Structure 1
Amino acid sequence: MDFTSRPFALRALVAALALLFTTSLPALAGGAPQPGSAPAKPSAQAPESTIAQDMLPQLSALPRPTLPSFAQLDRLLADTPLLHEAQAMRQAALQNGQALRSGTQEFTGQAQVQQRRIDAPPDNGNYAEWQVLINRQIRLPSQAQADNRMADALTTSANAGLIGARQQLLTDVLAAWFAAQRAQAEAALAQQNLGLMQGQVHALQRRKALGDASVLELEQMQAEEARAQSALLLAQGLASSSRAALEARYPALAGDTTLSGQAGSTAQLVLPDQPADALRALVEQNSATLARDRAALQQAQAKAGQATAARTPQPTVGAYVGADRGGRERIIGLQFAMPFGGPARVSTERAALAEVDAAQWRLRDAQALTLAEFQRLWATAQSQAAGAKAMDQAAQVQIQASVRMLRAYQLGEAGISDWLLARRSALDAVRQALQSRFDAAESAALLKLQAGLLFDASSSAAVMPAANPVQPQ
């Protein structure tokens, strides 16, 4: 062959190599063709969705966040020591309130026996004498009304404590639940990734046996498999520890071995459709902190009312009978005692009124903090919901880029390290999208919990009773 025919020879050689590439190069995931079988269709001609499913875990196949089972939450609330303590305190408040309504004024009985001796006539002699007295303090109507208001305030405070304990428990349960669910989902992602990488390694080993892949490519793929194996072990360890912590703290949730949660509760983990002003009003109405501070203000006001009523002392009235000179004289009488109010009663009233003023300022501060916390949680939930959607789109774009890099590798336009790097970036995008999905669900759940929208009567009546805060007077 002379030099004049060299361009033609080069073109023929390129055509032959291209024909050999299209007929003998198998898809990276498909393996080598068997003798006597039809040539494998190159993966470069396969749809991108099919290639993506073969190369990377799909978000649609990964676990989605759910709420804990409502039946398990009921058992958890029934067995939690903190709630039993709050219920006991509520019972104590009811009994203390009943004591205030009944009043502490009781009848007091007295008996007196004496011996009288008279030495001068004509009544000289020894005489046995006795006297029986019964008396009782009288509670004035203003004092009875003040005591009744204090009894109501004690009951309201105990109810606020019970609601606060339930809300705090549910907040902690949701945080631990989503942490365990997120760790389990990441372990599932790592498991799927390892399975896909093992399939790629096996396919590349078959290609190497046919002389269609180099040792360097196989070693790089095996290193990536080892990386996936390490990531799986770490993810499984984190999932196990998170689940163990969840079950140790909340044994009632141990029955859900897969952390699947309440069926159909995924739809509840979205942002509420109410406007911000309506949500803020719901949060203020259902806030356990505000309910506690309102009850404290009501209690301070009732205490001030008691101090004001106590400035008028309670009189003591009684009756007595007796016998003098051995029964020769019979005595029947009435008794009345009235203490004079001193400056201590005035100081007690002023101190109670100062406590009312402090409780009012404390309630205003709590309202400002509640509003700030709502604004923070509302903004966080909105941003995380939007971020989750953006991360889903970013993951899809990164997966498409990884698929195109795979095509370039199959066509010899890029090395396997380039494709593995693109695949790693796509896997990180999928992991971030999975994490952002759980973050958005947790923020939405906490926002709905504070607004009283997460658990309703149709789901679990014992989970979150409706708060009935007492407005300050």
Structure 2
Amino acid sequence: MFKIKVKSVARVCLVATGLLALPVLANDDPLSILPPDAMVRKSFEKVPQLRAGSMGINLAGNQKSRLEAGHYEWTAKVGISRRTDQLGERFREQEFALERPVRWFGKADKDRAIGDKGIEIAKASYADQWHETSRALLKDWFEVIREDFTQRQLHQQLEIAEQLSVIAAKRVKAGDAAKFEQLFAETELQRVRALVQQAAQRLELATQVLQANYPDLPLPSASSLPQPVNMHAQDAKSTEHWLEKILEDNHELELAQTEAEYVGLQAARIDQDKMPDPSFGIRSSRERDGQERVVGFSISMPFPGAARSSERSAALTKTQIANEKLQQVQTKVKLMARQAITDSQRTYSTWKTLENLKQQSLQQANLMQTAYRLGEVGITEALNTRKMALDSAIAADTAQIEALAAYARLHLDAHLIWALD
């Protein structure tokens, strides 16, 4: 059972005359206009960037395994030679050696930590992609709703313009009005028809975008808009509450923080390379056709050069850049969070103002239409008030949709809807 709220006597008159249809009101929850959570998650399964992000986590796991194993490998050497002594005797000799560099001074542990941090980056990146995809869905979803309700308003205006055209034709035929009034009414009718066609085109384009990006998601089907919520009236301290909620689990901030830590670990690992890794090996040889057998152990170590020093300097610079980027992201996230909160509060106030203007304009347009039917005013006054009513109705609906979108965006940024598990 749906409840019908009658806001004014003028609205009742419009319903009674058939000029305004009674809508079926949506749920009072402002978030009820959004698609169900289960459908959103199902549609995200086919989003290419999210599938790629999931693969990125697997790739990070492979990179961690590579870092744990190390990039050093065993090297085998085999040699065959022929020895000739002073007496002219010839001997065959064989030599075999096996050697491998070894990480020491905790380098293996540092590589393991870098691998773990790489997985954290991949997960944070996936979470950030999920959030950005949710924002894009929210934008596309409300774009369809906006164009849909604009088209509905224009269809109502088209019906009224047709009625005015019929009334003008009857008055001209009866000799109660000049011919130009009928021409004005027909011109207005053609203008509104053109607006309806343009709105239908915009709605079709917005629908195509939504269906192309999220093929498994149904189209918005709300017959009317829920009432926006005045958050500031509910809680005077809501700004700080929402700011804390958004910042405590922000994927973009987490990603920047993790990347800075990752670069720091890499810099620390490169700094460890100022002490080169040694290579250990064993060798065995047969000399003078096996008359002599040699078994030995070898150790070698490169001398560090200018390249290692330059690499450490570059790694330090990268760390500083990552930290500066983190500071930039922190400032950006805080600013965007405050803007989202302010936007949700201001759009509600704007909607209330435009909603009152809409009701007044509808009353005035209805009275002017009745007055024109009775011959008390001319067609110009009736059409001008009808245009003002149309503009105010579209502006009010747009403001209401923007208020609902801002409210939903705030809940999305606070991870209260469509949150990544």
TM-score, with structure 1 as normaliser? 0.75
**For residues 302 and 267 of structure 1, do their structure 2 counterparts lie closer, same or farther at Cα, with a shift above 3 Å needed?**
farther
- 1:180 Cα deviation from its structure 2 partner: 1.9
Structure 2 distance, partners of 1:233, 1:189, is: 13
- Answering whether residue 53 of structure 2 is matched by residue 86 of structure 1, we say yes
Q: How does 1:151-190 map onto structure 2 within 5 Å?
A: 151-190=115-154
**For residues 417 and 72 of structure 1, do their structure 2 counterparts lie closer, same or farther at Cα, with a shift above 3 Å needed?**
same
Q: 1:126 aligns with which of 83, 90, 102?
A: 90
- 1:238 Cα deviation from its structure 2 partner: 2.0
Paired letter, 1:107: W
CA contact (8 A) 1:381 1:440 kept: yes
Structure 1 distance, partners of 2:205, 2:414, is: 31
Report the more deviating stretch, 56-65 or 111-120. 56-65
- Answering whether residue 60 of structure 2 is matched by residue 98 of structure 1, we say no
Q: How does 1:300-315 map onto structure 2 within 5 Å?
A: 300-315=263-278
Gaps of 5+ in 2: 1-7
Aligned equivalent of 2:5 = none
Gaps of 5+ in 1: 1-45, 456-463, 467-473
Aligned equivalent of 1:260 = 221
Structure 2 distance, partners of 1:100, 1:265, is: 55
CA contact (8 A) 2:80 2:93 kept: yes
CA contact (8 A) 1:109 1:135 kept: yes
Aligned equivalent of 2:420 = 465
CA contact (8 A) 1:293 1:362 kept: yes
Aligned equivalent of 1:401 = 364
Aligned equivalent of 2:157 = 193
Aligned equivalent of 1:115 = 82
- Answering whether residue 339 of structure 2 is matched by residue 376 of structure 1, we say yes
**For residues 267 and 106 of structure 1, do their structure 2 counterparts lie closer, same or farther at Cα, with a shift above 3 Å needed?**
farther
Q: 2:44 aligns with which of 53, 77, 83?
A: 77
Structure 2 distance, partners of 1:71, 1:129, is: 74
CA contact (8 A) 1:269 1:445 kept: no
**For residues 281 and 265 of structure 1, do their structure 2 counterparts lie closer, same or farther at Cα, with a shift above 3 Å needed?**
farther
Deviations for 1:28-86, whole angstroms, at most 9, x for unmatched residues?
Answer: xxxxxxxxxxxxxxxxxx95333233375469569999223545433432222222322
SS in 2 for 1:79: coil
Aligned equivalent of 1:23 = none
SS in 1 for 2:33: coil
- 1:284 Cα deviation from its structure 2 partner: 2.9
- 1:182 Cα deviation from its structure 2 partner: 0.9
**For residues 112 and 245 of structure 1, do their structure 2 counterparts lie closer, same or farther at Cα, with a shift above 3 Å needed?**
same
- Answering whether residue 355 of structure 2 is matched by residue 355 of structure 1, we say no
- 1:432 Cα deviation from its structure 2 partner: 0.7
Q: 1:436 aligns with which of 399, 402, 405?
A: 399
Structure 2 distance, partners of 1:264, 1:104, is: 63
- Answering whether residue 243 of structure 2 is matched by residue 280 of structure 1, we say yes
SS in 2 for 1:144: helix
SS in 1 for 2:216: helix
Structure 2 distance, partners of 1:338, 1:237, is: 73
- Answering whether residue 307 of structure 2 is matched by residue 316 of structure 1, we say no
**For residues 125 and 267 of structure 1, do their structure 2 counterparts lie closer, same or farther at Cα, with a shift above 3 Å needed?**
farther
SS in 2 for 1:68: coil
Superposition CA RMSD, Å: 3.4
**For residues 287 and 316 of structure 1, do their structure 2 counterparts lie closer, same or farther at Cα, with a shift above 3 Å needed?**
same
**For residues 268 and 339 of structure 1, do their structure 2 counterparts lie closer, same or farther at Cα, with a shift above 3 Å needed?**
farther
Structure 2 distance, partners of 1:412, 1:125, is: 135
Q: How does 1:50-65 map onto structure 2 within 5 Å?
A: 50-53=12-15, 54=17, 56-57=19-20, 60=23
- 1:355 Cα deviation from its structure 2 partner: 1.6
- 1:183 Cα deviation from its structure 2 partner: 0.9
SS in 2 for 1:336: strand
Q: 2:189 aligns with which of 225, 242, 250?
A: 225
SS in 1 for 2:302: coil
Structure 2 distance, partners of 1:237, 1:110, is: 74
SS in 1 for 2:276: coil
Aligned equivalent of 1:48 = 10
- Answering whether residue 330 of structure 2 is matched by residue 367 of structure 1, we say yes
Structure 2 distance, partners of 1:77, 1:242, is: 19
Structure 2 distance, partners of 1:93, 1:432, is: 49
Structure 2 distance, partners of 1:268, 1:406, is: 31
Structure 1 distance, partners of 2:313, 2:200, is: 63
- Count of matched residue positions in the alignment of Structure 1 and Structure 2: 405
SS in 1 for 2:208: helix
Structure 2 distance, partners of 1:406, 1:203, is: 10
Paired letter, 2:297: L
Aligned equivalent of 1:341 = 304
CA contact (8 A) 1:111 1:130 kept: yes
Aligned equivalent of 1:26 = none
CA contact (8 A) 1:116 1:126 kept: yes
Aligned equivalent of 2:103 = 139
Structure 2 distance, partners of 1:322, 1:446, is: 74
- 1:425 Cα deviation from its structure 2 partner: 1.6
Structure 2 distance, partners of 1:270, 1:112, is: 85
Paired letter, 2:283: Y
SS in 1 for 2:347: helix
- 1:268 Cα deviation from its structure 2 partner: 9.3
Paired letter, 2:323: Q
Structure 2 distance, partners of 1:48, 1:218, is: 27
